């Protein structure tokens, strides 16, 4: 049954691609991208809450109360893993975290002395994996788009072979209706430009290299602030549509990930993407720093993501930093953990200053919080 949401009762203009409570509606100032390290504005304090907000729906789309619906994308606490080992297989395989869930990431490693090239599979498909000394390591992305269930991982190198069935738990990421003013809504209608940008971004995120460029724990870009929004399905409407009742079927689903996919529209459908990172409320001009050592793969500007930096950390791991005000690195630069790569802004599809931070493994998005727990 189709549910009807009386949006006119909730807000006049709603924000998108930001922690909307900290975004000032109507702030459309754009500073020319600067791929230099000078003339960088001083940081400012995030604006006080304005009339920009989003409507969060439950996973089934059937509960709205007081202008905000239920549905929480917070990463659940880890639980005991359900890992099956075939009879007679005594190979010691380290698998973490315990109890992986959709949106997370699995790190699997096995001792395999020698120099043989490793071969790994996941769901019967080839999975990139790499040798780190006498260890073979596989990093398995569990993007929000993929279902939960039990799946088989195999690792094979230097005479060592292991097969494990890993159960991936389910998780509710929530849904949102986001209303945009005319200028911002115009961005989501630029289908050809969005498709061009998505192809370029996907090509970068799929790059693989054997060398691990980082060492040790990663920097948390949120710095203790609330980071939210990973995996949320977002449906975009014009703010003028708030004068009527909008219908959003419980069966409505997004058709791609923000920034790296186009959106396929049928008659009467709203543009929509699944949010492939987290939004962190920070003031305009706040320095944005590399979460870990890596090489700058992208320092450019795109329709939806605005001024964008993507870092390649090696072994199929990338981080993305969207909506920057200024960029202070160039493609090919090698950066250290904590090195400044830009300043917080609101370029692209954003209604106020904030940092969109994404983590990708083998071209698939994962929850940055889940990666933060096991990255080293």
pLDDT digits (tens, 9 = 90+) for 285-301: 999 999 999 999 999 99
Q: Which of 136, 168, 200 is the last residue of a domain?
A: 168
Q: Where are the alpha helices (DSSP H) in the chain?
A: 182-188, 191-205, 368-374
Residues 48 and 61 in one domain: yes
Is 128 among the domain residues?
A: yes
Q: Is residue 376 part of a domain?
A: no
Lowest mean pLDDT segment, chosen from 118-127, 268-277, 315-324:
268-277
What is the DSSP track for 27-56?
A: ----PPP-BSSSSPPPP-PPPPP-S---EE
Residue 8 has pLDDT above 80, yes or no: no
Mean model confidence pLDDT for the chain: 77
180 and 92 in a single domain? The answer is no
Burial class from Cβ neighbours inside 10 Å (0-12, 13-18, 19+) for residue 263 reads: buried
Domain co-membership, 176 together with 164: no
Q: Where are the beta strands (DSSP E) in 270-370?
A: 272-274, 278-280, 287-289, 294-302, 306-314, 317-327, 334-335, 340-344, 355-361, 364-366
Do 101 and 59 reside in the same domain of the chain?
no
pTM of the model: 0.77
Q: Tell me what the mean pLDDT of segment 7-18 comes to.
A: 34
Which of 6-10, 180-184, 235-239, 250-254 has the largest mean confidence? 180-184
Residue after which a domain boundary falls, among 131, 150, 168: 168
List the CATH number of the domain containing 224.
2.70.70.10
**Domain count across the chain:** 2
56 in the same domain as 22: yes
At which of 118, 144, 168 does a domain end?
A: 168
Cα 25 to Cα 12: distance, rounded to the nearest angstrom? 11
C-alpha 294: how far from chain center = 18
State the Cα–Cα distance between residues 351 and 13, nearest whole angstrom. 10
* H-only helix segments in 12-113: none
Q: CA 174, CA 188: separation in Å to the nearest integer?
A: 21
Closest by CA position to 116, among listed 157, 81, 154: 157
Q: Is residue 375 part of a domain?
A: no
Q: Are 88 and 230 members of one domain?
A: no
In a shared domain, residues 32 and 126: no
Same domain, 260 and 120: no
Find tokens 């040798």 and name the residue.
Answer: 131
Per-residue pLDDT tens digits for 15-66: 444 433 333 333 333 333 333 333 334 444 444 333 333 444 433 332 222 2
* In the chain, % of residues over pLDDT 70: 68
Residue 243 structural domain: 3-74+172-370
Tell me the DSSP string of 134-172: TEEEEEEE--TTS--EEEEEEEEETTEEEEEEEEEBP--
Q: At a CB cut-off of 8 Å and minimum separation 6, what does 258 contact?
A: 17, 234, 273, 274, 275, 276, 277, 304, 305
Do 42 and 59 lie in one domain? The reply is yes
Tell whether 121 and 190 lie within a shared domain.
Answer: no
């Amino acid at each position: 049954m189709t549910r009807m949401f009386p949006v006119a009762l909730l807000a006049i203009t709603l924000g998108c691609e930001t922690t909307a409570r900290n975004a000032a509606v109507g702030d459309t100032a754009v500073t020319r991208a600067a791929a230099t390290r000078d003339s960088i504005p001083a940081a400012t304090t995030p604006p006080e809450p304005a009339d920009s907000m989003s409507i969060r729906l439950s996973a089934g789309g059937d509960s709205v109360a007081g202008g905000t619906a239920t549905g929480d994308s917070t990463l659940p606490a880890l639980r005991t893993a359900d890992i099956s080992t075939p009879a007679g297989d005594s190979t010691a395989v380290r698998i973490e975290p315990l109890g992986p869930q959709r949106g997370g990431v699995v790190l699997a490693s096995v001792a395999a002395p020698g120099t043989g090239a490793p071969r790994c599979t996941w769901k019967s498909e080839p999975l990139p994996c790499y040798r780190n000394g006498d260890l073979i390591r596989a990093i398995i992305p569990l993007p929000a788009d993929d279902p939960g269930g039990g799946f088989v991982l195999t690792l094979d190198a230097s005479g060592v072979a292991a097969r494990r069935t890993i159960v991936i738990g389910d998780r509710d990421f929530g849904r949102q209706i986001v209303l945009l003013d005319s200028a911002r809504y115009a961005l989501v209608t630029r289908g050809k430009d969005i498709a061009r940008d998505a192809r370029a971004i996907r090509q970068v995120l799929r790059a693989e290299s054997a060398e691990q460029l980082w060492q040790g724990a990663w920097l948390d870009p949120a710095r203790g602030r609330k980071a939210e929004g990973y995996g949320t399905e977002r449906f975009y409407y014009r703010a003028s549509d708030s004068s009527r009742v909008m219908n959003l079927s419980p069966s409505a689903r997004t058709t791609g990930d923000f920034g790296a996919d186009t959106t396929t529209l049928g008659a009467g459908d709203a543009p929509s993407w699944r949010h492939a990172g987290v939004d962190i409320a920070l003031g305009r001009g706040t320095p944005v720093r590399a979460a870990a050592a890596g090489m700058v793969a992208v320092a450019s500007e795109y329709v939806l993501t605005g001024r964008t930096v993507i870092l390649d950390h090696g072994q199929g791991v990338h981080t993305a930093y969207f909506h920057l005000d200024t960029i202070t690195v160039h493609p090919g630069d090698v950066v250290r953990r904590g090195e400044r790569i830009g300043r917080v802004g609101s370029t692209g599809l954003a209604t106020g200053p904030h940092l969109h931070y994404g983590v990708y493994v083998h071209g698939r998005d994962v929850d940055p919080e889940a990666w933060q727990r096991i990255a080293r």
